[in-house]
Amino acid sequence: MSAMLVLFDACWRPDMPDAGEHLPGVHNSAWVQCPTHDVLRAFAESQDWAHERLQRYVTEVVRFFADDPRVVVWDIYNEPTQRQSEHLILPRLSALKSWPADQYPEHWMLDGPKLQAIMLLLEKAFTWARAAKPTQPLTTAIWEFPSPADSEDVKQFKEQLNQKLIDLSDVPSLHCYCPPKRAGRTTGGIGSTRSRASLGHRIHGTPTGLDAYKQFACAETTRRSWLHLGPFSRQVQHP
């Protein structure tokens, strides 16, 4: 069995200072983002300790598994443009902890500031991972697609953001929370994007055809078998 190793994740709780705390009946209520928002904010503020900690994490993990045949691909950041999680968890945490309305911990990053910080970290993480010389390709998934209800500005923003993620990746990947027919149409759209992948980008000297990219994207949509590495590795410190 092969694995896609995931280094960072923008989904669900920004942090969980009280170990083991969960919200009964709430999906993934103890799933914590990586890095947690205190580290992400420190990185965005150019604090040296955060930069060094994250770089060391990426470099050491990728280098350790760089030639491991069990690793088929690296997912550098799971759904990096995810900005809904904080708004889903905040009212539930507010009720649990009796927080005042519309208030949350000062170190949390929401919406635009979170996206800006993550995009900065994402680009750095790709650079760090490639410097470790893995034999496996790197990717980060597009998942937020334009919809008929979007204004032209929103549609253009999503398209440009998705193109950025594809351009960073050696192989494009997508998460489509949708029926199989729509997943197929969405995957087909990858072939029309102007990216290194659609131009026949070569991975470690091996030509990679567009059909292979499409198959990979479809497989990821249906299997979703990812491993969040950090907590299980003794060699590195989890951010």
Give the amino acid at 133.
K
Looking at the DSSP bridge assignments, the partners of residue 120 are none
State the pLDDT confidence band at 184, using cuts at 50, 70 and 90: low
Q: What is the pLDDT of residue 222?
A: 36
Domain boundary assignment for the chain: 3-232
pLDDT tens-digit readout, 48-72: 999 999 999 999 999 999 999 999 9
For residue range 81-140, list pLDDT tens digits in order. Answer: 999 889 888 888 888 888 888 788 999 999 999 999 999 999 999 999 999 999 999 999
Instruction: Please say whether the beta carbons of 174 and 216 come within 8 A.
Output: no
* Residue 187: predicted pLDDT: 60
Predicted confidence (pLDDT) per residue in 193-226, tens digit: 444 433 333 333 333 333 343 344 434 433 333 3
Which of 40-44, 167-171, 194-198 is least confident?
Answer: 194-198
What own/partner pairs with CB < 8 Å and gap ≥ 24 does 35-41 have? Answer: 35/8, 35/121, 35/239, 36/239, 37/105, 37/107, 37/108, 37/109, 37/114, 38/107, 39/239, 40/109, 40/114, 40/117, 40/118, 40/121, 41/107, 41/109, 41/117
Residue 47 has pLDDT above 60, yes or no: yes
Query: CA 30, 166, 126, 51: dihedral to nearest 10 degrees?
Result: -60
* pLDDT at residue number 122: 97
Q: What is the pLDDT of residue 183?
A: 66
Residue 28, pLDDT score: 81
pLDDT band with cut points at 50, 70 and 90 for residue 79: very high
- Nearest-5° Cα angle at 11, 81 to 145: 35
Residue 215: per-residue pLDDT: 40
Q: What is the mean pLDDT of the chain?
A: 79
Question: What CA–CA distance (Å, rounded) separates 169 from 4?
Answer: 14
- CA atoms of 73 and 197, how far apart (whole Å): 15
Q: What is the pLDDT of residue 220?
A: 43
Rounded distance between C-alpha atoms, residue 39 and residue 186, angstroms: 34
Q: What angle do CA 229, 5, 217 make, to 5 degrees?
A: 150
Six token digits for residue 82:
């995810």
Mean pLDDT over 158-187 rounds to 82
38 pLDDT exceeds 50? yes
